[in-house]
């Protein structure tokens, strides 16, 4: 086979060395490090650690103010309140730079750190209609070739609480959204059955996957998770549904967790956690050990919900490990798996990983191995998409 390009001297986690031969944007062969590589364009990776591109599993491209003016965080009047935060967000967004500018800022940030695959939620509800989605769809088109993006039609103002939203969610799928979302069926819309009827109804009718925001805590959250798992099985949608946050899983007894985790595993419902702040969050190891796919994302980056976030999935792995008390190498590799391979599974990505036949999407790191990369999140990365350099040292190539 004639290759398009050969990346020389790639060091994989575990210490094996290869030349990565690329053809048509895919890994065509992993050649032994002593194999001759003449007659074709070569790029010397100089024994850098090479890992698959990161999977950003949950972000909001429409609501970040990264690269825009700093907007001081406004606390809720009485504890965390989703309704109040949504109202603050509407005020902030009205004064912000245009959405396409802010979305590009955020994409450049994420790609610069090594993200090659992304799932973004975009507001689709009675308050903004399809306007935000139309903007983000245009930006997604501009970034084709740099990053693959799945978009979730996200009812940020509720489905039942926001008139017209069920129809808008359907129209969003017609426009190009890939998944249908949901938001706290109990605490926000106050009707779990009717909320899930709409979400699963749209998914079933249009053959799309589901990713539901669920902030509800304790047994209420666990109850909703069980309802989602039961509907997933009833519709034969195993592997096609995710729950984002699922804070309730970190806020119940171990016995309760075991029971819910078994249902999640049987229904193939994945759990997204970004291990945020002081909140309880889904315990990664017990869930994985029960067979649940756990993935991650930055979620909010400098938006109306909090001032944090840097778009770096490797730094997110640091946070996941730190908050989980991961110290041994095996655990640090789990944190890494959550932002790479497990993310690819949750997003049902085809051709992911450092293997023959996969897309040539990879990142070089200045680290001895994955455990060190997770704790250090080192700078000085090169990011390759389909075998082409797209970012170097945090900057998009050509800009």
Interface positions with Zn ion (CB under 5 A)? 299
Cα→Cα distances 17→11, 29, 34, Å: 5, 13, 9
Task: Please identify, using beta-carbon distances, which residue of 86 and 365 lies nearer to Zn ion.
Answer: 86
> How far is Cα 175 from Cα 45, in angstroms, rounded to an integer?
41
Distance, in Å, from the CA atom of 147 to the CA atom of 361, rounded to the nearest integer, reads 9
Q: How far is the CB of 215 from Zn ion (least distance, A)?
A: 9
SS3 216: coil
Q: Of the two residues 59 and 332, which places its CB atom closer to Zn ion in the complex?
A: 59
- d(CA 245, CA 102) in angstroms, rounded, equals 24
Give the residue with the Cβ less far from Zn ion, 22 or 301.
301
DSSP label at residue 164: T
CB 303 within 8 A of CB 61: no
Residue pair 326/334 in contact (Cβ under 8 Å)? The answer is yes
Indicate the residue among 62 and 361 with the shorter CB distance to Zn ion: 62
User: What is the closest distance, in whole angstroms, from the C-beta atom of residue 90 to Zn ion in the complex?
Assistant: 16
Which among 316, 315, 301 is positioned nearest to 70, based on CA atoms? 301
Residue 108 or 299: the one with the smaller Cβ distance to Zn ion is 299
Q: Work out how close the CB of 299 gets to Zn ion at its nearest, in angstroms, rounded to a whole number.
A: 5
Output the smallest distance, CB 216 to Zn ion, in A. Answer: 14
Determine the Cα–Cα distance for residues 229 and 320; give it in Å rounded to an integer. 24
Residue 362's DSSP bridge partners are 52, 384
Pairing of strands 362-365, 49-52: antiparallel
The residues, any chain, with a CB within 8 Å of residue 201's CB and separated by 6 or more, are: 166
Least distance (Å) between residue 58 CB and Zn ion: 6
Whichever of 51 and 82 has its CB closer to Zn ion, that residue is 82
CB of 385 to Zn ion, least distance (A): 25
Distance CA 205, CA 200 (A): 8
Q: Which residue is nearest to Zn ion (CB)?
A: 299
Would you say 309 or 321 has its CB closer to Zn ion? 309
Per DSSP bridges, beta strands 42-44 and 5-11 are parallel
Per-residue 3-state assignment (H helix, E strand, C coil) for 90-112: HHHHHHCCCHHHHHHHHHHHHHH
Closest Cα partner for 316 from 288, 335, 290?
Answer: 335
Nearest distance in Å: CB 297, Zn ion: 8
**Residue number, 45 or 93, with CB nearest to Zn ion:** 93
For the stretch 136-141, contacts whose Cβ atoms lie closer than 8 Å and that sit 24 or more positions apart, written own/partner, are: 136/61, 136/62, 136/99, 136/103, 137/175, 137/176, 138/100, 139/61, 139/100, 139/103, 139/104, 139/107, 140/176
Query: Minimum distance from CB of 17 to Zn ion (Å)?
Result: 40
| 20 or 179: CB nearest Zn ion | 179
Residue 56 or 299: which CB sits closer to Zn ion? 299
State in angstroms the smallest separation of the CB of 47 from Zn ion: 38
Rounded Cα distance, 350 and 344, in Å? 8
Taking the complex as a whole, the smallest distance from the CB of residue 274 to Zn ion amounts, in Å, to: 8
């Amino acid at each position: 086979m004639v290759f398009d390009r050969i990346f020389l001297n790639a060091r994989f986690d575990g210490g094996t060395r290869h030349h990565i031969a690329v053809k048509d944007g895919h890994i065509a062969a992993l050649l032994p490090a002593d194999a001759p590589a003449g007659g074709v364009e070569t790029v010397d990776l100089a024994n850098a650690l090479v890992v698959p591109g990161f999977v950003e599993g949950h972000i909001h491209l429409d609501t970040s103010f990264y690269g825009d003016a700093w907007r001081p965080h406004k606390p809720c009047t009485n504890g965390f309140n989703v309704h109040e935060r949504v109202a603050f967000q509407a005020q902030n967004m009205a004064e912000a730079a245009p959405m396409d500018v802010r979305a590009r800022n955020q994409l450049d940030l994420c790609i610069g750190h090594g993200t090659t695959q992304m799932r973004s939620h975009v507001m689709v509800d009675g308050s903004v209609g399809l306007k935000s989605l139309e903007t983000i769809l245009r930006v997604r088109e501009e970034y084709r070739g740099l990053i693959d993006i799945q978009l979730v039609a996200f009812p940020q103002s509720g489905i039942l609480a926001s008139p017209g939203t069920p129809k808008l969610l359907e129209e969003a799928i017609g426009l190009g959204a890939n998944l249908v979302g949901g938001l706290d069926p109990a605490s926000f819309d106050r009707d779990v059955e009717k909320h899930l009827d709409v979400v699963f109804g749209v998914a079933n009718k249009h053959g799309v996957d589901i990713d539901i925001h669920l902030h509800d805590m304790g047994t209420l959250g666990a109850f909703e998770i069980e309802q989602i798992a039961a509907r997933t099985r009833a519709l034969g949608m195993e592997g096609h549904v995710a729950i984002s946050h699922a804070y309730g899983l970190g806020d119940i007894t171990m016995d309760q967790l075991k029971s819910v985790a078994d249902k999640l595993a049987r229904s193939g419902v994945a759990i997204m956690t970004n291990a945020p702040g002081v909140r309880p969050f889904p315990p990664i190891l017990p869930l994985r050990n029960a067979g649940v796919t756990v993935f991650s994302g930055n979620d909010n980056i400098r938006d109306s919900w909090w001032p944090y976030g840097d778009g770096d999935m490797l730094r997110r792995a640091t946070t996941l490990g730190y908050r989980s008390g991961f110290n041994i190498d095996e655990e640090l590799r789990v944190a890494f798996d959550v932002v790479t391979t497990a993310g690819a599974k949750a997003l049902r990505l085809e051709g992911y990983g450092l293997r023959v036949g996969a897309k040539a999407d990879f990142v070089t790191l200045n680290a001895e191995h994955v455990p060190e990369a997770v704790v250090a999140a080192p700078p000085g990365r090169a990011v390759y998409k389909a075998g082409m350099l797209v970012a170097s040292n945090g900057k998009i190539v050509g800009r």
